[in-house]
Structure 1
Amino acid sequence: MLSSLRCFLLALWLATLAVTPASAQEAESNTSAPAVAPDPFGRETPRSAVSGLIDALAKRDYNRAANYFDLPVQDDPQVKDGASELARRLQTLLDSGGTLLPFARLSNEPAGRIDDDLPVDRELAGDLKGSGGEAPLLLTQRSVDGRSVWRISHETIRELMVASATTAASAPSKDIVGIDVAGAPAEDWALLIGLAALSFVVLRLLAAATLAVVRRGISDPDANGVYRFVHAALPPLSLFIAVMAFYTWAERLQVAIVARQTLLRYAGGVAAIALVWFCLRLVDAVADVAIARMHRRARRQAVSVVTLLRRAAKILLLVFSIVAVLDTFGIDVTTGIAALGIGGIALALGAQKTVENLVGSVTVIADRPVQVGDFCRVGDVVGTVEDVGIRSTRIRTNDRTIVTIPNGDFSSRQIENYAKRDRFLFAPKIGIEYTSPAKVREAVSIIEDVLLSHEKVSNDGPRARFTDFGESALEIEVFSYITVTDFAESTTVRQELLLSIYERLSAAEIGIAFPTRTLFLARNPGDDQPRRSGAEPAAPADDS
């Protein structure tokens, strides 16, 4: 308890500060100084200041806790003693029902929160309960030895000073009584841990009961989307709601602030894990439904995209949970994230081809130039698409071999998809034997009549035209479309048309030409004279 002298000195000093001209305080805060070492008490941010204060109160080191009050404790020993007594009283009031903001809600920025209704140099850290009712526990930012630090403000100090001795005396003392664990009585730890366990057990049982009721009301739960969603959501949601219930109930208990604030701090990490767990199960449930739908529609390449997105979402969620847990333990992840960014650039440069293939996969699947089962030409490769994967596309050629093309290369090639044809071109060149012009006109008319009379030939301008005098035939060019989409069926129609044309031309005694060549053989004029040598042959001898 403060002595009368100490109360007087503190009141006098506070009154002096109250009438100090604002310009002098601004001059003090704007004094530029060279770079200085970090604050030894860790008061750079509201979060670190509250954490340091709790650590000092847990160790009952009230001399150290005095440094977290906006008082010149280094200049005046009496003021330091008074500030130590204020720290003791602060702990007593917090143990008696006062509250501090959860660890995650305290700003970890040097400038504090700027989106609240307080001045820029003020930060709300909690609430005090005294004889006059609730009062905010405020932090103020000032420059101390060239450092900008956060400490308990004059407004809160006044509240602590005006709190009557009876209020402090009537508050339950949290000095060491019996077993002390980490700066708080063991029974307080047991009460809070029991409350947390009870919250989780009750909510988990409620979740199991709800799941059983829903399952009983559905004929085929495994195929029902609502049941699958409830089954995926209830376990993590029960944990998250249990943490929120623990937050609500723990703040109403009159237990040691050290135990309460410590467990609430780590409960925030559990809440983050529960939220990530819920998102992971939700991602799995949505992905399973999407994959089943893609299988029913025979869109196998879309399954690869869903699988890739599922893995990417899970990785991001796990990274978020790791960052949240590390932040709960007070580990600064900013440097680590920067290092990961540099490492990511290096990895991206080293895995450039892999990234290119992944981007190519997204392009191929989004643009869908081919699908599994399509017959196509990709560059100089002709075959049927068997699989569109995350990294590559596999094509089975007509020789029954498998050609694997990386998707980065696949997406940049010229792709001709024969399966997308809505009709087939029928444009043969028919050569007839050299004959009279009337027969040529008859042949053209016969071919056009065959085209027009066939039901599978498009009536959009089929034609036959005599186009050229060939070396061995009179050439008639045909142009029309076969209105089928199946390749095998198109070959059947093509055969019917060619046979019909052949039969009609044969019946009209118009022959189909084939390459011919006539050879004329002749003797040279001198070949009928006997060959002579340079000397006359000798006369035969007379035997008579």
Structure 2
Amino acid sequence: MFIVVLFAVSLIRVGARRALNRRRARSPTANYGDLRLALSAVAGNTNQLFVLIAAFYVAMTVSGLASPTVQSWLWTALVIAFYAQLGIWANAAMVDYFNRRRTRQEMRDPSTVTGYGLLTFFLRVGIWITVVVSLLAYFKYPVAGLVGALGVGSLAIAFAVQNILGDVFSSMAIILDKPFRVGDFVKAGETLGTIEHIGVKTTRIRSLSGEQVVTSNSDLLNSRIHNYKHFRERRIAFRIGVVYQTPRELLERIPGMLREAVEEQPNARFDRAHFVEYGDFALIFEIVYYVLSPDYTLYMDIQQGINLGIHRRFEQAGVSFAYPTQELILRRGPALTVGNEAGSAAG
């Protein structure tokens, strides 16, 4: 009977492996749901110790060689091994399922590696807690008291490691809410750079100056994050000033000059140009336009072309740029006569 049970289990495992290979050969990327998960778990994750215990229990029970006490012990060992095997099968099926999903998601979002890793860890812990509690409930242990003790202990541990747990839950929030992903160009606080890695506790950013900035997930979520990955246009507003001595006819022509300077640049869309205010030492004009690309180097090239175009047009029209100046006005008082001076002295 011992050999028969071992042979039967081997046949089941071989059959499951062959069925799984046939399905993979037909369509390697197809998703067959629960049946494929069950076949994969049985074929590759059946523990040999569980098989030996089951075969020994069947052999001793059928042959009648085991006394009631020994049979009870064997049954207890078989139940424990069976629950452990259920946990192994559940873990294997869960890992297989999430690995296939992660492979598809990694093509679109590399940050899902961390997300699936965290999710797999918590699911594994949940599976084994369920197995242990179910096993204790089968043997009629006071599970309610154990669950309560675990709750109090978990609360104490949570208070002790609240900073670490805060970063862990922050990483889950980043993965689920996706305020940014690996490869996004962001500004977080004073840090400006590209997201390289989203970990369980920290996120790594490659700054523009070259160094890697490591910041905790909690601090990162508490700061104001500017994500430049998905913006399509860059709005630019700047001001220039001309001297107060500029004739009114030239002032009326300046918005047209500014518009021409912007419109002659490719990848730039003019919005407006106005004489906005009287400054302390200049007449102020404001120009607003859009760069039709998020590329910062392209924006600087366009801004440089606009500045040169404005300078060329102002030079041709005779318009002078303003710069900070102060004008001092000195007034001379009336001269004093000799008679007035003598009268003042007598007084």
In the superposition, the TM-score normalised over structure 1's length comes to: 0.51
User: Cα gap change, 1:378/1:490 in structure 2, threshold over 3 Å: closer, same or farther?
Assistant: same
CA distance in 2, matches of 1:212, 1:467: 75
Q: Quick check: 1:392–1:405 contact (8 Å CA) kept in 2? A: yes
User: Cα gap change, 1:424/1:508 in structure 2, threshold over 3 Å: closer, same or farther?
Assistant: same
1:277 aligns with 2:69: no
1:508 aligns with 2:314: no
Q: Secondary structure, in 3 states, of the residue corresponding to 1:386?
A: strand
Residue 363 of structure 1 corresponds to 173
Report the CA distance between 1:349 and its aligned residue: 1.2
Q: Secondary structure, in 3 states, of the residue corresponding to 2:274?
A: strand
CA distance in 2, matches of 1:418, 1:367: 17
| One-letter amino acid of the structure 2 residue matched with residue 287 of structure 1 | F
Q: Quick check: 1:236–1:275 contact (8 Å CA) kept in 2? A: no
CA distance in 1, matches of 2:3, 2:139: 22
Residue 300 of structure 2 corresponds to 491
1:417-461 CA distance string (max 9 Å, x none): 2334332122111122331100111112111233355553336xx
The count of aligned residue pairs is: 324
1:331-357 CA distance string (max 9 Å, x none): 555443332222111101111112221
Unaligned 5+ segments in structure 1 are: 1-190, 527-544
Report the CA distance between 1:254 and its aligned residue: 9.5
1:351 aligns with 2:161: yes
Residue 381 of structure 1 corresponds to 191
CA distance in 1, matches of 2:194, 2:47: 50
1:467 aligns with 2:249: no
1:286 aligns with 2:97: yes
Report the CA distance between 1:265 and its aligned residue: 5.4
1:439 aligns with 2:255: no
CA distance in 1, matches of 2:153, 2:312: 75
User: Cα gap change, 1:394/1:211 in structure 2, threshold over 3 Å: closer, same or farther?
Assistant: closer
1:345-382 CA distance string (max 9 Å, x none): 11011111122212221222222222333333323433
1:374-421 CA distance string (max 9 Å, x none): 333323433333322211223343443443322222222222223343
1:318 aligns with 2:123: no
Which residues of 2 match residues 449-464 of structure 1 at below 5 A? 449-452=260-263, 454-458=265-269, 462-464=271-273
1:253-273 CA distance string (max 9 Å, x none): 796894777655544444333
Residue 406 of structure 1 corresponds to 216
Q: Quick check: 1:269–1:324 contact (8 Å CA) kept in 2? A: no
| One-letter amino acid of the structure 2 residue matched with residue 284 of structure 1 | V
Report the CA distance between 1:511 and its aligned residue: 3.0
Task: Report sequence identity in percent.
Answer: 24
Task: Give the structure, 1 or 2, with the largest relative contact order (CA under 8 Å, sep 6 or more).
Answer: 2
| One-letter amino acid of the structure 1 residue matched with residue 104 of structure 2 | R
Residue 226 of structure 2 corresponds to 416
Residue 119 of structure 1 corresponds to none
User: Cα gap change, 1:213/1:238 in structure 2, threshold over 3 Å: closer, same or farther?
Assistant: farther
Q: Secondary structure, in 3 states, of the residue corresponding to 2:275?
A: strand
CA distance in 2, matches of 1:435, 1:214: 83
User: Cα gap change, 1:331/1:480 in structure 2, threshold over 3 Å: closer, same or farther?
Assistant: same
| One-letter amino acid of the structure 1 residue matched with residue 262 of structure 2 | L
Q: Secondary structure, in 3 states, of the residue corresponding to 1:515?
A: coil
CA distance in 2, matches of 1:444, 1:208: 78
Which residues of 2 match residues 56-75 of structure 1 at below 5 A? none
Q: Quick check: 1:375–1:417 contact (8 Å CA) kept in 2? A: yes
Higher share in helix: 2
User: Cα gap change, 1:232/1:253 in structure 2, threshold over 3 Å: closer, same or farther?
Assistant: closer
Q: Secondary structure, in 3 states, of the residue corresponding to 2:98?
A: helix
Residue 301 of structure 1 corresponds to 111
Q: Quick check: 1:456–1:484 contact (8 Å CA) kept in 2? A: yes
Q: Secondary structure, in 3 states, of the residue corresponding to 1:364?
A: helix
Report the CA distance between 1:468 and its aligned residue: 2.5
Residue 203 of structure 2 corresponds to 393
Which entry has the higher C-alpha Rg, 1 or 2?
1
Q: Secondary structure, in 3 states, of the residue corresponding to 2:205?
A: strand
| One-letter amino acid of the structure 2 residue matched with residue 363 of structure 1 | A
| One-letter amino acid of the structure 1 residue matched with residue 107 of structure 2 | R
Unaligned 5+ segments in structure 2 are: 336-347
| One-letter amino acid of the structure 1 residue matched with residue 15 of structure 2 | L
Report the CA distance between 1:517 and its aligned residue: 5.1
Residue 210 of structure 1 corresponds to 19
